[in-house]
Amino acid sequence: MINDSILKSLINKPKKISNLDFSEVSDIITQAQEIFEEEKLLIELNADKDEEIFVIGDIHGNLESLIKIYDLIKKKDPKYVIFLGDIVDRGQFQLECLIIVLSLKILYPNKYFILKGNHETLEMNKYYGFYDVYMMEFNQYSQFDEIISLYNKLPICIVVNDSILCLHGGIPENFEILNEFKTLDKKQLDETIPESVEYAIFQIMWNDPKEGLTGFMDNFRGPGIKYYGYEVFNEFMEKYNLKYCIRAHEVFPEGYRWFFDHKLLSIFSSENYRGDYYPNPASYAVIKNKTVSGELIG
Ligand SMILES: [Mn+2]
């Protein structure tokens, strides 16, 4: 077991993370996994009128952005912090970002929540970098199984105050999915999961909103992935009596973007994700008093 003071020192001095040996990293993964195992696929959170909730988008190994976010959290002390997934792949400090987020979860399990993004999968990690980062560091293929097993324990969405839906990509074509999440045991996910549920989870992690569209439409990102339009989005939200949706998954030069008549907020928390020639500020969302606002991280 890694104790709290070590975890705190890793969060405050992330450069120490590259000095950890495999057994220490493995301990952190195991401890975090035990906490995620007890969480539901759909988590419901409630906050009082004057309490803030921070929602954080894609990090993608951008340690500088993550540190700025953590400084903000320390300063403003929100009641909950929700990460919408895509912590690793692409950036320069992927292991550091993952270990920091997991350490926060272990230290404060009822304050920090981490949802699954489309990069919390083996296929994406093999293609976009984290698998190689891990192999370079620890050098044993079988050890990546722990990471995959951790990913499979992550929750998929959070509903705040019965009215605000938080997820990585967006709504799926299967409108029953939130009801199905309430009856499904996450422990089943490793074994037998209905194909319709598996596909809905895939779409929740991958789908994008599109203005000017009414229904669903094929997405250029790849097979099975959809764009969702205003009408189907509204239908889904009304079915569950939801007012706002906060999602991540797409970078915008202005930092965050509202869709669908100010009902869907798209955030992204990795600054200059595509390099200095296509700059973007990092952004996050604040939920307070049943309203949602987009904020830039300065
Ligand atoms: Mn994504």
- Every domain of the chain and the residues it spans: 4-297
- For residue range 72-112, what is the model confidence (pLDDT) as tens digits? 999 999 999 999 999 999 999 999 999 999 999 999 999 99
**Distance from the alpha carbon of residue 57 to the mean position of ligand 1, in angstroms:** 9
CA 291–ligand 1 middle distance (angstroms): 24
Share of the chain above pLDDT 70, in %: 99
Measured between alpha carbons, how far is 29 from 37 in angstroms, rounded to an integer? 12
Cα of 59 from ligand 1 centre, angstroms = 10
CA of 5 to the centre of ligand 1 (A): 32
- Give 184 Cα–ligand 1 centroid separation in angstroms: 24
The whole-model pTM stands at 0.97
Q: Which of 158, 223, 155 is CA-nearest to residue 189? A: 155
* pLDDT in the model for residue 190: 63
Residues 17-56 have pLDDT tens digits of 989 988 999 999 999 999 999 999 999 999 999 999 999 9
How many angstroms does the Cα of residue 4 sit away from the middle of ligand 1? 31
Domain 4-297 class in CATH: alpha beta
Going from the Cα of 268 to the center of ligand 1, the distance in angstroms, rounded, reads 9
Gap from CA of 1 to ligand 1 centroid (Å): 32
User: What is the CA(48)–ligand 1 centre distance, in A?
Assistant: 30
